[in-house]
């Protein structure tokens, strides 16, 4: 008891409060192929962790190991301080998952999809009905409750998948590309709802290729490549440390860009040439060089973002797997 | 751990089934009823009695057993394969507290229930053809369920191995249709030459067809217990194998 008093509850790294997810040395081999290579990370209560990486980096395999859909080759997984996969039944009772591929039941209506899923969690019928009602309203689906899944738009399906994932009031929400293929309106509605859930303290694990989405939602990011953790930390801090403050993107001929590159060497910045484009990642205020740029054809000056960090760490070559 | 949580999967399937009830019943019952009419009534009128029964009476119980087989096996092939692949229903289920064992049991017990229902409807239809079952027919019901479990597990084994829907053509052409024709529904296996008889009696539908005939008319000419034990063992093996193969397919 005395420990709880001396340790403020809000401190997520307090010894009395184990991490929601804690993974140590997690490894997965498919035959000779090492897909996940000795990964360790932790997700603290109330955090949203963005799980990033190019295609084939091992994100989905990693998530599937957390859920027991893929057997780990080595390592330790603890979720809610319970060992997985030994306690998966108890663990999964407290997790909500929005899968990347639509797994709604096309034979059932919106409401039936939810009530059937509530059945899998053995939520008592009266309580389930009440939660379904709340969730239908929360995700603006109450007017479509009797609709067949086929008649729903992409955004409505995604919202229904989210509603389904929240039926058991999960303490951990796993979101695998939650807004993939949606129009901006639909994405904004989902972000707004996720922000409300975050404010209520729901812990989240998010994977997405939309890095603006990750920047918006995550307090921590973890970038995977070739099955290993390349970097993890607070996104703003990582961007400042590893990319810089701002980015100049300049189009021009080789001669023009060569000249500009020389001028930019006066400033603390790293440079990258991609085709007819010059990227300058400034680590300090390079405003004094703007007058040099004025003469160049077209250029953009913008804050450094997560996408810059991502490209810097994982390269520009295409990953097709 | 709740040993009956597979029931929620059964309920999900029942909920979907209720929406297409007429199509599935006609699909499952059409064939055995038409065979009863064509072979039993049409062909059977001019035939000498077989094993002391009119031909219609002779084939009727076996057709009940075949209705169970078709209904159960089709459910866990085409039906389960759709849930496994196109609809990703299994994936969605495995993200809940339900585990792999619940999934396999839910699917097999569901397939068996559908099979049993088809069998019961066939039994109820028999008086329309002038076939009056004896009170012993009640003892047939658990046997029909057991047979439903076997064929539903057999179907699920095929589903776990299937690469596409065409794969099930092998199953229906090379397994289900031969079983329908050679398990003693249409001719008495007991009067065949011993080696042939031996082979036919090893087929999984044969003991069920015999039991159906025995219980339907209350005529206990053959040993019953061995057939029941054999069917139980075969069903146990099939359920285990279905579970093993489906797990291998679902969990990498």
Give ipTM to 2 decimals. Answer: 0.87
Tens of pLDDT along A167-177? Answer: 999 999 999 98
Which pLDDT value is given to residue A291?
Answer: 75
- More confident call, A318 vs A19: A19
User: Does residue A85 have a cis peptide bond before it, meaning omega lies within 30 degrees of 0?
Assistant: yes
Name the token pair of A55. Answer: 């295609």
Alpha-carbon B247 to chain mean position: 23
| Tokens encoding B12 | 């999900």
pLDDT of residue B172: 93
Q: Is the pLDDT of residue A263 over 90?
A: no
Cα separation, A151 vs B179, whole angstroms: 42
Statement: residue A321 has pLDDT above 60: no
State the pLDDT confidence band at A120, using cuts at 50, 70 and 90. very high
Contact at 8 Å (CB) between B116 and B82?
no
User: Residues in chain A, how many?
Assistant: 321
Which structure tokens are listed for B32? 């055995």
Question: pLDDT category, A11, cuts 50, 70, 90?
Answer: very low
Q: What is the pLDDT of residues B171-224, one digit of tens each?
A: 999 999 999 999 999 999 988 899 999 999 899 999 999 999 999 998 887 788
Q: Taking the mean position of all CA atoms in its chain, how far away is CA B209?
A: 11
Task: Judge whether residue A4 has pLDDT over 70.
Answer: no
- Residue in chain B lying closest to A68 (CA): B251
Residue A295: per-residue pLDDT: 65
Q: What is the mean pLDDT of chain B?
A: 91
Which residue has tokens 């009395």?
A: A16
Closest residue on chain A to B1 (Cα)? A89
Which is nearest to A98 in space by CA: A164, A34, A43? A164
- Residue A6 in this model has a pLDDT that exceeds 50: no
pLDDT digits (tens, 9 = 90+) for A45-80: 999 999 998 888 888 899 999 999 999 999 999 999
**B231, B150 contact by CB (below 8 A):** yes
Based on the number of CB atoms within 10 Å of its own CB, is B208 exposed (0-12), middle (13-18) or buried (19 or more)?
buried
Which tokens sit at B30?
């059409």
**Beta-carbon-side half-sphere exposure of residue A213 (alpha carbons within 13 Å):** 25
pLDDT, tens digit (0-9, with 9 covering 90-100), for B85-123: 999 999 999 999 998 999 999 999 999 999 999 999 999
Using alpha carbons, select from B38, B52, B217 the residue that is nearest to residue B129.
Answer: B38
What is the separation, in whole angstroms, between the first and last Cα of chain B?
24
Q: How confident is the model at residue A16 (pLDDT cuts 50, 70, 90)?
A: low
Options 3.30.420.40, 3.30.470.20, 3.40.640.10, 3.40.50.300; CATH of A18-234: 3.40.50.300
In terms of CATH architecture, what is A244-303?
2-Layer Sandwich (3.30)
Query: For residue B89, which residues of chain A lie inside 8 Å, CB to CB?
Result: 103, 105
pLDDT tens, B27-49? Answer: 778 888 888 888 888 888 888 88
Residues in chain B, total: 252
- Whole-angstrom Cα distance, residue B80 to residue B157? 10
CATH 3.40.50.300 domain residues, chain A = 18-234
Over residues B56-79, the mean pLDDT reads 94
Residue A1 has pLDDT above 50, yes or no: no
Which two tokens mark A22? 């804690």
- pLDDT for B74: 93
Percent of chain A residues topping a pLDDT of 90: 44
| Least confident residue range of A213-222, A255-264, B54-63 | A255-264
Pick the closest to residue A104 from A93, A117, A89, A119 (CA basis): A117
Question: B97 to chain A nearest CA, in Å?
Answer: 5
A contact set with B (CB within 8 A): 30, 64, 67-71, 88-90, 92-93, 95, 97, 99, 101-108, 112, 116-117, 119-122, 168
How many angstroms separate the CA of residue B160 from the nearest CA in chain A?
16
* CATH 3.30.70.860 segments of chain A: 244-303
pLDDT of residue B219: 86
A34 burial class (0-12, 13-18, 19+ CB within 10 angstroms)?
A: middle
CB nearest to B91's CB, from A30, A95, A103: A103
DSSP states along B92-104: HHHTSS--HHHHH
Residues A211, A214: Cα–Cα separation, whole Å? 5
Residue pLDDT, tens place only, A134-162: 999 999 999 999 999 989 998 899 999 99
**Mean pLDDT across chain A:** 86
Q: How far is A17 from chain B (nearest CA, A)?
A: 24
pLDDT band at A114 (very low <50, low <70, confident <90, very high): very high
What's the pLDDT tens digit per position in B129-170? 888 989 999 999 999 999 999 999 999 999 999 999 999 999
Is B113 in contact with B10 (CB distance < 8 Å)? Answer: yes
Q: Give the per-residue pLDDT at A3.
A: 37
List CB contacts (< 8 A) between B99 and chain A: 88-89
């Amino acid at each position: 008891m005395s420990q709880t008093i001396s340790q403020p509850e809000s401190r997520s790294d307090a010894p009395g409060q184990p991490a929601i997810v804690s993974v140590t040395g997690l490894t997965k081999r498919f035959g000779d192929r090492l897909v996940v290579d000795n990964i360790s990370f932790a997700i603290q209560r109330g955090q949203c962790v963005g799980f990033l990486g190019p295609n084939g980096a091992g994100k989905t395999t990693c998530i599937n190991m957390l859920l027991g859909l893929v057997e780990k080759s080595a390592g330790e997984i603890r979720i809610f301080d319970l060992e997985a996969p030994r306690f998966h039944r108890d663990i999964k009772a407290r997790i909500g998952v929005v899968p990347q591929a639509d797994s709604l039941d096309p034979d059932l209506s919106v409401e039936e999809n939810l009530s059937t899923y509530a059945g899998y969690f053995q939520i008592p019928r009266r309580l389930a009905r009440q939660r379904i009602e709340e969730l239908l309203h929360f995700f603006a689906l109450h007017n479509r409750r009797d609709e067949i899944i086929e008649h729903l738009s992409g955004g409505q399906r995604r919202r229904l998948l989210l509603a389904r994932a929240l039926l058991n009031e999960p303490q951990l929400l796993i979101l695998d590309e939650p807004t993939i293929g949606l129009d901006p309106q639909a994405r904004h509605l989902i972000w707004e709802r996720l922000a409300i859930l975050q404010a209520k303290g729901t812990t989240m694990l998010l994977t997405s290729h939309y890095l603006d989405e990750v920047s918006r939602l995550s307090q921590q990011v973890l970038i995977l490549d070739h099955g290993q953790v390349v970097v993890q930390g607070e996104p703003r801090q990582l961007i400042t440390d590893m990319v810089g403050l701002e980015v100049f993107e300049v189009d021009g001929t080789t001669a023009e860009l060569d000249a500009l590159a020389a001028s930019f060497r006066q400033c603390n910045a790293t440079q990258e040439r991609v085709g007819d484009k010059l990227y300058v990642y400034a680590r300090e205020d390079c405003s004094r060089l703007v007058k040099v740029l004025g003469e160049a054809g077209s250029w953009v000056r913008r804050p450094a973002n997560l996408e810059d960090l991502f490209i810097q760490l994982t390269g520009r070559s295409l990953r097709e797997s | 751990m709740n040993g009956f949580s597979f029931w929620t999967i059964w309920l999900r399937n029942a909920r979907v089934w209720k929406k297409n009830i007429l199509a599935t019943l006609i699909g499952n019952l059409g064939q055995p009823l038409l065979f009863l009419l064509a072979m039993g009534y049409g062909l059977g009128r001019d035939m000498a009695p077989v094993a002391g029964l009119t031909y219609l009476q002779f084939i009727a119980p076996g057709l009940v057993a075949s209705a169970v087989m078709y209904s159960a096996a089709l459910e866990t092939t085409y039906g389960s394969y759709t849930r496994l692949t196109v609809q990703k229903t299994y994936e969605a289920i495995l993200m809940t507290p339900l585990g792999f064992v619940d999934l396999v049991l839910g699917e097999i017990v569901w397939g068996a229930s559908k099979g049993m229902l088809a069998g019961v409807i066939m039994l109820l239809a028999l008086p329309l053809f002038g076939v009056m079952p004896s009170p012993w027919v009640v003892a047939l019901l658990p046997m029909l369920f057991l047979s439903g479990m076997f064929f539903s597990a057999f179907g699920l084994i095929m589903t776990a191995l299937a690469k596409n829907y065409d794969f099930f053509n092998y199953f229906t052409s090379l397994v289900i249709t031969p079983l329908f024709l050679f398990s003693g529904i249409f001719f008495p296996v007991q009067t065949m030459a011993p080696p042939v008889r031996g082979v036919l009696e090893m087929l999984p539908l044969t003991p069920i067809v015999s039991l159906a005939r025995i219980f339907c008319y209350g005529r206990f000419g053959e040993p019953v217990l061995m057939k029941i034990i054999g069917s139980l063992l075969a069903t146990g093996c099939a359920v285990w194998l279905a579970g093993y193969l489906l797990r291998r397919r679902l969990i990498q």
